[in-house]
Amino acid sequence: MKLPLYLDYNATTPIDHRVFEAMMPHLGEEFGNSASIDHLHGARASDAVEKARAAIAGTINARPEELLFTSGATESDNLALIGVMEANEDKGDHLITSKMEHPAVLETAKYLQKRGKHVTFLDVDRTGLLDPDAIAKAITNRTVLISVMMANNEIGTIEPVEVIGRIAHERGIYFHTDATQAIGKLSVDVRAMNIDLMSFSAHKVYGPKGMGALFIRRRNPFVKVSAQIHGGGHERGLRSGTINTAAVVGFSKALQLCYEALSSEPPRMQALRERLWQGLKSRVAGTELNGHPTKCIPNCLNVYLPGVENRALMLTMKDQLAFSAGSACATSKVEPSHVLTALGYSASRSHNSIRLSLGRPTTTEEVDLAIEEISRMANTIRNRFCSTAQS
């Protein structure tokens, strides 16, 4: 077993070797610019990009022209929120989102607020679920867009996006979802789920970093979005800049592999997650789950270990185990997780909680070692600091 053990797959995943192989030719001799199609080099690059676009679109039940390539989910979220709010000023100036969105959505919403838009940040319940009735109540005749993530990156809770999308459509409002943590783990159908815009990323599904996509619905309704990156008019004028052919091809291959394993891999993850949960619960007194017990992506476990400061645990275990204390983007700050705060938990519970996320390479042996090591260290730290359990 290679140490430190990696249990932080919600932060990023390694490139699958089959993805790597699919990308290689496009990093070498197939170097054409997919926008320069007057010669064969460019035409071949364009063919590769369009083949990948069609394949990715197919996996989410979208049409190829509805899929736009970006540098990742962060850019997709920015384009969705800013682009829609800007392009639909005639319809209104109100955005509805939740308090536990990824910073890519939260911070963009705050930016829009500074630019004069009105934003409602909705509460979630103790398990991280949004109440669709609360969304319906928050809608005004100035509401343009609702943005709610499909699955949370810290606690894994799966939101009722299909219902939220239906409410949005009944009121003539657009619905955006950040599906970065759901894609490849759940089956996602943008039409059945009433989604108008959807962000996702390659590096969370064993593809390359710096590659993402935004689905923008082109029919029933046609979603108006204004470009945020201007230039040569690539991606239907919505996102200029030469496309990273190798990354696009890798993204497509990565998703294909996830979908091929969609009936076997999620149940395997779920079983490992359950083993990890039961193991920790039985060995560390007072352990509690953060999130929803069943409406959860299969690879994610967020646990409260009373009296065990997560940063102390992380530091003492850094040669054995890689995991997360709060979201990756917040690791340089000592602030409590905004997600656990949104769930109504105290700062102390937040600082005593860790996120373990499993992935394709994770084995039963790794999970057993993680249980052993975490419980041993947790009990040591607890005794050393004589902390008392509190919530």
User: Which amino acids are annotated catalytic?
Assistant: 329
Of 43-82, which residues contact ligand PLP (CB under 6 A)?
A: 72-74
Residues 83-102 that bind ligand PLP (CB under 6 A): 102
Complex with ligand PLP: residue 34 or 108, whichever CB lies closer? 108
104 counts as binding ligand PLP under rule CB under 6 A? yes
How many CB atoms neighbour CB 309 within 10 A? 17
Among residues 71 and 387, whose Cβ is nearest to ligand PLP?
A: 71
d(CA 82, CA 148): 15
**Cβ distance to ligand PLP smaller for residue 182 or 312:** 182
Min CB(80)–ligand PLP separation in Å: 11
Give the pair of three-digit tokens for residue 61.
């039940």
Q: Is there a contact between 250 and 211 (Cβ–Cβ < 8 Å)?
A: yes
178 contacts ligand PLP (rule: CB under 6 A): yes
The bridge status of strand 212-216 relative to strand 197-201 is antiparallel
Contact 251, 206 (CB under 8 A): no
* Site membership for ligand PLP, residue 201 (CB under 6 A): yes
Phi-psi region for residue 294, left (φ > 0), alpha (ψ -120 to 50) or beta?
alpha
The correct pick among 83, 132, 156, 212 for binding ligand PLP (CB under 6 A) is: 212
> Which of residues 46, 98, 108, 181 is near ligand PLP by CB under 6 A?
181
Which residues on adjacent β-strands are paired with residue 70?
212
Question: Which region among 85-93, 119-127, 130-138, 176-184 touches ligand PLP (by CB under 6 A)?
Answer: 176-184
Q: Which residue is nearest to ligand PLP (CB)?
A: 72
Q: Least CB distance from residue 286 to ligand PLP, whole Å?
A: 29
**Is the CB of 357 or the CB of 375 nearer to ligand PLP?**
357
CA–chain centroid gap for 302, Å, is 15
The one-letter code for the residue type at 103 is P
- Residue closer to ligand PLP (CB basis): 10 or 120: 10
Question: Of the candidates 143, 177, 180, 287, which one interacts with ligand PLP according to CB under 6 A?
Answer: 180
Min CB(292)–ligand PLP separation in Å: 16
DSSP single-letter state for residue 61: T
CB closer to ligand PLP, 209 vs 281: 209
CA atoms of 171 and 151, how far apart (whole Å): 24
Least distance to ligand PLP, CB of residue 142, Å:
27
Question: DSSP assignment of 68-102, as one string?
Answer: EEESSHHHHHHHHHHHHHHHTTTT-SEEEEETTS-
Instruction: Closer to ligand PLP by CB, 79 or 249: give it.
Output: 79
Contact (CB, 8 A) for 290 and 345: yes
Q: Could you give the CA distance from residue 200 to residue 73 in angstroms, rounded to a whole number?
A: 5
* # residues contacting ligand PLP (CB under 6 A): 14
In the window 141-170, what residues touch ligand PLP (CB under 6 A)? Answer: 149, 153
Helix (H) or strand (E) holding 205: none
Chain mean position to CA 84: 20
d(CA 295, CA 25): 41
Widest distance between CA atoms in the chain: 72
Residue 228 beta carbon to ligand PLP: minimum distance, rounded to whole angstroms: 14
Query: Shortest gap between Cβ of 39 and ligand PLP (angstroms)?
Result: 32
Binding region for ligand PLP (CB under 6 A): 72-74, 102, 104, 149, 153, 178, 180-181, 201, 203-204, 212
